[in-house]
Amino acid sequence: MPIATKWTEKYRPESLKRILGNGKAIEELRAWGQSWERGEPITGAAILYGPAGTGKTSAALALASEFDWDCIEMNASDARTAGMIQKIAGPASQSRTFSGKPRLVILDEADNLHGTADRGGAAAMLKLVRSASQPVLLIANEYYEIEKPLRDAMKGIQFRSVRSTTIAQALREICRVEEVECDPDALMLIAERAGGDMRSGINDLQAAAQGQTEVKMEDVATAERDVKSSIFKVLEVIFKGNNAHEALQASYALDESPEDLINWVDENLPLAYKGLDLFWGYDRLARADIFLGRVRRRQVYGLWRYASFLMTGGVQASKAARGQGYVAFRPPSLWRRMGQTRKARSVRDSAAKKIGRRCHVSAGFARSELMGFVGLLLRDKKRAAPLAAELDLEAEEIALLLGSAPTTKKVQTIFEEAMKIRTAEEIEDIEMAWHSTAQRSLAGASEARATPACASEADEGAASMKMGAVQENAVDATLEPLMDDLNLPASAVGPGQVLPAAANQGQEGTVAKPEDCRLGSPCKDETLAKVEKKVAKPAVGRGQKSLFDF
């Protein structure tokens, strides 16, 4: 049995004039394409944005078909990493076809560049847009989910939801071609429940008419969709409506938390209200912010309903008369500033963590109390490099603490000197660890060769003497060259052993007597004691400096 073809693909428009709805957007897209045909492009790239199912992808493909352009498309199913974009879309955006026609590059779902699969994709996409010599079209549902540098580099063309009557007209034409009798009321019901989504309406019609020659009201089994309301529609209801309950209900269909919604209302309140209305509007908004603060402190999310009512219905009730006229709503400027300072805040937090770890305090305390003090210490030329090395600071962190740029000569000098200090300390640590391991190995070998020092009747005395012998053998590796010069044996001299005549300045031999030994320390010859005095003490590990020692 052959697989049924999806009607959305079967009846996809092949030219721009066959796309229903969004006439203004289609004209803007055609003008953009004609500018490329003339060789005088308006912009190198354009972005088609709007709700799902409004014909954005169909318009892009219809543009390529109408102007006979070659087309390359990348969508969300592709791994749009920097390498993939440079490998596939990069060359396509730089070269024409053999016929000399432009090649259209389509990047679908440009607002969903998230996760490890698309790592580096946004930066690569921006580079592609700025350097493209061929037309590039980006498609997105949420315009403000795209990074601002990428938005500014392109021409924005907005697609809006399709009217129910327009959807019903398209469904009627499909029924005529498919030779399916359909009740007009059933068609209108499908169109209304599509919620402005042409693709959903066509899919619902195919589900109802598949394998039938007639579609009636009882055949329409689709339920009403839970359509997410646009933030701009909710702002229209808040600032221009006259029913507080209606404004609150509109916020329920919004895919925004109260913390995000209050930023939208705060940004656009001065644009919609003036005078006393603005005063009372901010009064309600401040009360809503108090409830949000209590939610953050106490984690009692039941208080959200009070905050939501104050920032929607309360703000609406603050206006004396219903709003009239057009208001150009805009996204919160706080988010834009936060995006611009994201890198600086990351460097600040990294420096605060390093200072807090070294001073044994929290990163928050270091950020608020100690960063200024560390900045003052870094201004001292003698203390700057050792302090930067002790805290393991990077060039960006040094520049932040000094209030300077990372590329200045002063910052670079401190960073380079700190790197030298850190490198020298790492080498010294490796050498100390190696010498410590070698001395432990030699001490163990010497202990195995050495004879017992002084015999004692008590077991405790013997154990103590053995411990003393182990301590002395720790310097055998250093004594060996001097002992060779004096013709001494490699092991320590114990009781009953005869020293060579050369070691006793011409004497034939001397026997170390047990009674000359003290309990708890090995017996030593006077000459051997003199040799030990010439040996330097072993190096002591470096002590940690305090931040206040610099």
**CATH code where residue 175 lies:** 1.10.8.60
Say yes or no: 471 and 393 in one domain. no
Instruction: Say what the pTM is.
Output: 0.45
Say yes or no: 461 and 524 in one domain. yes
Say yes or no: 13 and 152 in one domain. yes
Say yes or no: 251 and 152 in one domain. no
CA-nearest of 23, 13, 24, 22 to 63 is 13
Residue 440 lies in a domain: no
Domain count, the chain: 5
Q: What is the pLDDT of residues 518-531, one digit of tens each?
A: 444 444 455 545 54
Say yes or no: 22 and 152 in one domain. yes
pLDDT of residue 509: 42
Torsion (CA) 496, 497, 499, 500 in degrees, nearest 10: 130
Residue 544 lies in a domain: no
| Joined tokens for residue 20 | 């229903």
Contact 190, 225 (CB under 8 A): no
Q: What is the pLDDT of residues 413-450, one digit of tens each?
A: 999 999 999 888 888 888 888 887 766 666 665 555 55
Residue 101 lies in a domain: yes
Say yes or no: 26 and 123 in one domain. yes
Say yes or no: 121 and 72 in one domain. yes
Say yes or no: 57 and 149 in one domain. yes
**CATH code where residue 130 lies:** 3.40.50.300
pLDDT by residue for the chain (550 residues), tens only, comes to 344 578 888 888 888 888 888 889 999 999 998 988 888 887 778 899 988 888 898 999 999 888 888 888 876 444 445 455 555 555 555 555 555 677 888 888 777 654 444 445 566 677 777 777 788 888 888 887 777 778 888 888 999 888 888 888 888 888 888 888 888 888 888 888 887 888 888 888 888 887 778 887 777 765 455 444 578 888 888 888 888 888 888 888 777 788 888 999 999 999 888 889 899 999 999 999 999 999 888 888 888 889 999 999 999 888 887 666 677 788 888 877 776 677 788 888 999 999 999 899 999 999 889 999 999 999 988 889 999 999 999 888 999 899 888 888 889 899 999 999 988 888 888 888 888 776 666 666 555 555 444 444 444 444 444 444 444 444 444 445 444 544 545 444 444 444 444 444 444 444 444 444 444 444 445 554 554 444 444 444 445 555 545 5
Say yes or no: 149 and 21 in one domain. yes
The residue range of the domain holding 212 is 164-219
Say yes or no: 14 and 129 in one domain. yes
Say yes or no: 148 and 168 in one domain. no
In the listed set 158, 186, 207, which residue is the last one of a domain according to the structure? 158
Say yes or no: 494 and 513 in one domain. yes
The count of residues in the chain is 550
Contact 465, 454 (CB under 8 A): yes
CA distance 72 to 55: 18
| Joined tokens for residue 33 | 């394409």
Tell me phi and psi for residue 486, to 5 degrees: -95, 5
